[in-house]
């Protein structure tokens, strides 16, 4: 049997296969609230046959949004809108749903990508003051963030915990803490963006301190039997930045604190990054992390082929693969992969008649 379609159990969460839908920002929320677009987008993916659907980066504070169109879970209105969307999806799909919690730090206050993605100054009508570990802007033409003081650190740490509690109440099955792609927790981890001289800066032990505090806040606020994962950028792709050796140390510390899954990605912290983009280009980093921890590891990055995904899981490079742009382009990718390998996949009863006659054993009815 295809390794890609072997089930896996993570705490109370049963996953039917090893295909995860990665969080993908839609920049279409209104004051942090889900709307009809999210119902269409997530509802479509919830019928895909993947094992787990992850909701996009969801800000824990208003100033933690990347753009004015980002999702949030920082108020009761955000919670109500998300709950309504989730209830509608769950009426027709039993796919487990995860949520990525995030704070954008110095990369916040930007325009949506299809309008250029430029950063707004704090005085702009669509902008706000950004925060970071140090007063170092992401790019030369951007406003410098305010360096977070102790009260600011406590505010954001507690906001992660509060958002996790709201997610638990909404029935989210897994939380992913976003410590990658150059956002706030990654900014603390990397010496390129963290220039602090207090207990949160300098040594790796100090630079890990705030991300680990945030993880502990989330873990304590989310039901114990439910898993919590962390997404890590394993390298900045910049000299003297955060790298694989430091990533492995961080991953071990997360594991000690009860992290259940580690999702390995790269980059996003510095415009000087030089990324050797190509199929499976991040998989070797996932492989190295997997060698050093006992929890499941997820690989991501230009994974689009069925045999490619099968090889990643089958050789033990990672326990699961995450699809992003690939599954936006082909929302039924898991169906096609199952047909390719002679495996089974869940499909809605309403779609059972679409099963091609040559794949008579493809669909498991809901």
Q: Are the CB atoms for 232 and 180 separated by under 8 Å?
A: yes
In eight-state DSSP terms, residue 83 is: H
pLDDT level of residue 366 (50, 70, 90 thresholds): low
pLDDT tens-digit readout, 267-326: 999 999 999 999 999 999 999 999 999 999 999 999 999 999 999 999 999 999 999 999
| Residue 121's pLDDT band (cuts 50, 70, 90) | very high
Q: In terms of Cα–Cα distance, which of 122, 98, 110, 123 is closest to 69?
A: 110
For residue 1, the model assigns a pLDDT of 85
The burial of 360, by beta-carbon neighbours within 10 Å (0-12 exposed, 13-18 middle, 19 or more buried), is given as exposed
237 backbone φψ class: left, alpha, beta (φ>0; ψ -120 to 50): left
Nearest residue to 243 via CA among 173, 190, 195, 317: 190
Reported pTM:
0.97
CA distance 319 to 296: 6
- Look up residue 179 and give its two tokens: 């410590």
Per-residue pLDDT reduced to its tens digit, 230-272: 999 999 999 999 999 999 999 999 999 999 999 999 999 999 9
| Nearest CA-CA partner of 233 in 200, 189, 267, 184 | 267
Residues 131, 152: contact at Cβ < 8 Å?
yes
Q: How many CB atoms lie within 10 A of CB 180?
A: 26
Show Cβ contacts of residue 307 under 8 Å, excluding neighbours closer than 6 positions: none
Are 267 and 259 a contacting pair, CB within 8 Å?
A: no
pLDDT band at 103 (very low <50, low <70, confident <90, very high): very high
Query: CATH code at 358?
Result: 3.20.20.70
Query: Quick one: pLDDT at residue 364?
Result: 86
Coil, strand, or helix at residue 215?
helix
Structural domain total, the chain: 1
Distance of alpha carbon 67 from alpha carbon 110, whole angstroms: 5
Q: Which domain holds residue 102?
A: 3-365
How high does pLDDT run on average in the chain? 97
For the segment 113-142, the average pLDDT, to the nearest whole number, is 96
What would the mean pLDDT of 153-160 be, rounded to a whole number? 98
Q: Which residues pair with 134 in a beta bridge?
A: none
Section 202-226 average pLDDT: 98
Which of 181, 6, 4, 170 shows the shortest CA–CA distance to 98? 170
The single residue listed with the structure tokens 């492995």 is 248
| 341, 365 contact by CB (below 8 A) | no
Residues recognised as catalytic: 183
Residue-wise pLDDT tens digits, 52-93:
999 999 999 999 999 999 999 999 999 999 999 999 999 999
Q: What's the chain's length in residues?
A: 366
């Amino acid at each position: 049997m295809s390794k890609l379609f072997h089930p896996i159990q993570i705490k109370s969460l049963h996953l039917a296969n090893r295909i995860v839908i990665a969080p993908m920002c839609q920049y279409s929320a209104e004051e942090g609230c889900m709307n009809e677009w999210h119902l269409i987008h997530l509802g479509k993916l919830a019928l895909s046959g993947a094992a787990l659907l992850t909701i996009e980066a969801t800000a824990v504070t208003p100033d933690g949004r990347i753009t004015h169109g980002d999702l949030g879970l920082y108020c009761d209105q955000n919670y109500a809108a998300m709950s309504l969307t989730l209830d509608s999806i769950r009426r027709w799909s039993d796919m487990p749903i995860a949520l990525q919690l995030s704070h954008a730090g110095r990369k916040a206050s930007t325009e949506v990508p299809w309008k250029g993605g430029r950063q707004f100054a704090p005085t702009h009508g669509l902008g706000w003051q950004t925060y970071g570990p140090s007063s170092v802007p992401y790019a030369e033409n951007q406003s410098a963030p305010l360096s977070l003081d102790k009260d600011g650190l406590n505010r954001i740490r507690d906001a992660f915990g509060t958002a996790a509690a709201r997610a638990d109440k909404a029935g989210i099955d897994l939380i992913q803490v976003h410590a990658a792609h150059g956002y706030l927790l990654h900014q603390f981890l990397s010496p390129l963006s963290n220039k602090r001289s207090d207990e949160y800066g300098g040594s790796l032990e100090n630079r890990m301190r705030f991300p680990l505090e945030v993880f502990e806040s989330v873990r304590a606020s989310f039901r114990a039997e439910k898993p919590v994962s962390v997404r890590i950028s394993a390298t900045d792709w910049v000299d003297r930045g955060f790298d694989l050796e430091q990533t492995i140390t961080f991953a071990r510390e997360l594991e000690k604190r009860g992290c259940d899954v580690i999702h390995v990605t790269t980059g996003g912290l510095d415009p000087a990054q030089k990324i050797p983009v190509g199929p499976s280009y991040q998989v070797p980093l996932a492989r190295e992390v997997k060698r050093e921890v006992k929890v499941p590891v997820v690989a991501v990055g230009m994974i689009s082929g069925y045999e490619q995904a099968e090889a990643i899981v089958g050789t033990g490079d990672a326990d699961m693969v995450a699809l992003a742009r690939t599954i936006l382009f082909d929302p039924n990718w898991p169906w096609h992969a199952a047909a390719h390998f002679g495996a089974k996949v869940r499909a809605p009863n309403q779609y059972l008649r679409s099963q091609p006659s040559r794949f008579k054993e493809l669909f498991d009815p809901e």
